């Protein structure tokens, strides 16, 4: 019999709150984290908005020397991981650190240090490049630093699958526990690429919303007037634990992870396939893995990016996978409030989905005032909804055709 996996710890750093409690209260109240970019001069940019993390102090989680030698995505990962670790109550004085692992994904690593050091190279020559360039830029350093910070010596890795990264990390980590290679995993995603090159690159791709004069209404998943996603940043980390291990130590259990699906579109670098084949199959794979029927699902935390194509295709995917039940399942998008956290999105949204199950409150999709006729499902517009959620799903679909779906169940 496969070992059962439960979530025993949650941590988050987001544009609407730097703790899990602040984040969750923000989601439920419909708090908006989008505003004008303050990180750099945007006067020459046609997109000048983002969902920035605000008032975050990395010195609460890392020493001054560590902060100086690492990048934002590492700071966020360590902060969220330490929150989740404290929340779960695991104690290395009683546990074997070789049986607890880390899988924290990151989509892009640090463009900030690359941009800084390229300018340094051009102005001052190669001898002036910082020796910390490589460890500060590589995407796996979030996972590496979490392992170091918590002293965890079990399986350690960093998936990189664009916007599906965080969900792939959690799904893959659950299988490591099921396989018996760990009793617990600290897992999720982290990202921070609010830099001139990244904003410029996504703008050139025509992926971002250009509502500079109205930032709070820029992220509007499933709305007819949506014009692109809003870049966000942050980290979401959960602690997965083998059920019997969690029960033995009397751990609080937020939810059980019962299903995981992953597929590839094999279609296009950035666009989802028009018939929703890859994403609908991903949902079906997750349902099969969970050994449940579509009608068993009460809620879907949607990928819901606010781009014209994604929201339409995700709606079609749900219809193809759920059939008649598609009209009955509640769906909402956290990205309406926090923007798109790229590699961190799946981790943050999994934590939110666990809280939805735990509290019986479905966060709303804000800014949904003019529904797209092609997006005609129940997206819980504007106001949070109380409901008994027995089984919930979280979708993440990334560039390159990477798809991931997690299924959580009330314990």
- Measure the CA–CA gap between 365 and 380, rounded to whole angstroms: 6
* Active-site hit among 75, 168, 245, 303: 303
Contact status, residue 215 vs residue 34, Cβ threshold 8 Å: yes
Contact 150, 82 (CB under 8 A): yes
Per 3-state DSSP, the chain is made up of helix, strand and coil in percentages (nearest 5) of 40, 20, 40
CA 64 – CA 66 distance, rounded (Å): 5
CA 80 – CA 78 distance, rounded (Å): 6
**Catalytic position from the list 88, 106, 163, 375:** 163
Classify residue 278 by burial, with Cβ atoms within 10 Å: 0-12, 13-18, 19+: buried
Structural contact between residues 79 and 61, judged by C-beta atoms closer than 8 angstroms: yes
To 10 degrees, what angle do helices 141-150 and 72-88 make? Answer: 40
DSSP secondary-structure letter at 17? Answer: B
Q: Which fold has domain 257-409?
A: Peroxisomal Thiolase; Chain A, domain 1 (3.40.47)
Q: Which CATH number fits domain 5-248: 3.40.47.10, 3.10.180.10, 3.30.1360.170, 3.40.50.620?
A: 3.40.47.10
In the set 158, 340, 350, 402, the catalytic residue is: 340
- Determine phi and psi for 77, rounding to 5 degrees: -65, -45
Whole-model pTM: value is: 0.97
pLDDT of residue 368: 98
Is residue 163 among the annotated active site residues? yes
How far apart are the C-alpha atoms of 67 and 80, rounded to whole Å? 15
Q: What is the pLDDT of residue 2?
A: 77
Q: How far apart, in whole angstroms, are the C-alpha atoms of residue 302 and residue 314?
A: 8
Active site residue 340: yes
Over residues 38-76, the pLDDT tens digits come to 999 999 999 999 999 999 999 999 999 999 999 999 999
Runs of H (alpha helix) within 272-399:
277-290, 308-322, 335-338, 345-359
First CA to last CA distance, the chain: 18
- Rounded Cα distance, 142 and 165, in Å: 13
Decide if 22 contacts 28 (C-beta within 8 A). no
- Residue 167 · residue 405 · CB < 8 Å: yes
Which residue intervals of the chain bear CATH 3.40.47.10? Answer: 5-248, 257-409
pLDDT tens-digit profile, the chain (411 residues): 579 999 999 999 999 999 999 999 999 999 999 999 999 999 999 999 999 999 999 999 999 999 999 999 999 999 999 999 999 999 999 999 999 999 999 999 999 999 999 999 999 999 999 999 999 999 999 999 999 999 999 999 999 999 999 999 999 999 999 999 999 999 999 999 999 999 999 999 999 999 999 999 999 999 999 999 999 999 999 999 999 999 999 999 999 999 999 999 999 998 999 999 999 999 999 999 999 999 999 999 999 999 999 999 999 999 999 999 999 999 999 999 999 999 999 999 999 999 999 999 999 999 999 999 999 999 999 999 999 999 999 999 999 999 999 999 999
């Amino acid at each position: 019999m496969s070992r059962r996996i439960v979530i025993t710890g949650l941590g988050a750093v987001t544009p609407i709150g730097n703790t899990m409690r602040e984040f969750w209260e923000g989601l439920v109240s419909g708090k908006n984290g989008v505003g004008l970019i303050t990180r750099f001069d945007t006067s020459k940019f046609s997109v000048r908005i983002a969902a920035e993390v605000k008032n975050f102090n990395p010195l609460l989680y890392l020493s001054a020397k560590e902060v100086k030698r690492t990048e934002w995505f590492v700071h966020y990962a360590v902060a969220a991981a330490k929150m989740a670790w404290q929340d779960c109550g695991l104690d290395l004085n009683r546990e074997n650190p070789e049986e607890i692992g880390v899988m924290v994904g990151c989509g892009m690593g640090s463009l900030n240090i690359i941009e800084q050091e390229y300018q340094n190279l051009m102005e001052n020559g190669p001898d002036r490049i910082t020796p910390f360039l490589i460890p500060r830029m590589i995407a796996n350093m979030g996972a590496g630093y979490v392992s170091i910070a918590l002293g965890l010596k079990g399986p350690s890795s960093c998936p990189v699958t664009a916007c599906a990264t965080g969900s792939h990390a959690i799904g893959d980590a659950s299988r490591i526990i099921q396989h018996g290679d760990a009793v617990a995993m600290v897992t999720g995603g982290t990202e921070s690429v609010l830099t001139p090159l990244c904003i410029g690159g996504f703008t050139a791709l025509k992926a971002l919303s250009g509502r500079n004069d109205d930032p709070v209404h820029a992220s509007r998943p499933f709305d007819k007037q949506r014009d692109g996603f809003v870049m966000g940043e942050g980290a979401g980390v959960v602690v997965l634990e083998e059920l019997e291990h969690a029960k033995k130590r009397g751990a609080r259990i937020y939810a059980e992870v019962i299903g995981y699906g992953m597929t590839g579109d094999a279609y296009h670098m950035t666009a989802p396939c028009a018939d929703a084949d890859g994403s609908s199959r991903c949902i079906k794979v997750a349902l099969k893995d969970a050994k449940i029927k579509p009608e068993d699902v009460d809620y879907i935390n949607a990928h819901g990016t606010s781009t014209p194509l994604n929201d339409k295709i995700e709606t079609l995917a749900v219809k193809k996978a759920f059939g008649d039940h598609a009209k009955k399942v509640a769906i909402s998008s956290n990205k309406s409030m926090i923007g798109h956290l790229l590699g961190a999105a799946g981790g943050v949204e999994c934590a939110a989905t666990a809280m939805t199950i735990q509290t019986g409150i479905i966060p709303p999709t804000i800014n949904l005032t003019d529904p797209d006729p092609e997006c005609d499902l129940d997206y819980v517009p504007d106001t949070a909804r109380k409901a008994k959620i027995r089984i919930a799903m979280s979708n993440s679909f990334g560039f390159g055709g990477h798809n991931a779906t997690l299924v959580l169940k009330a314990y």
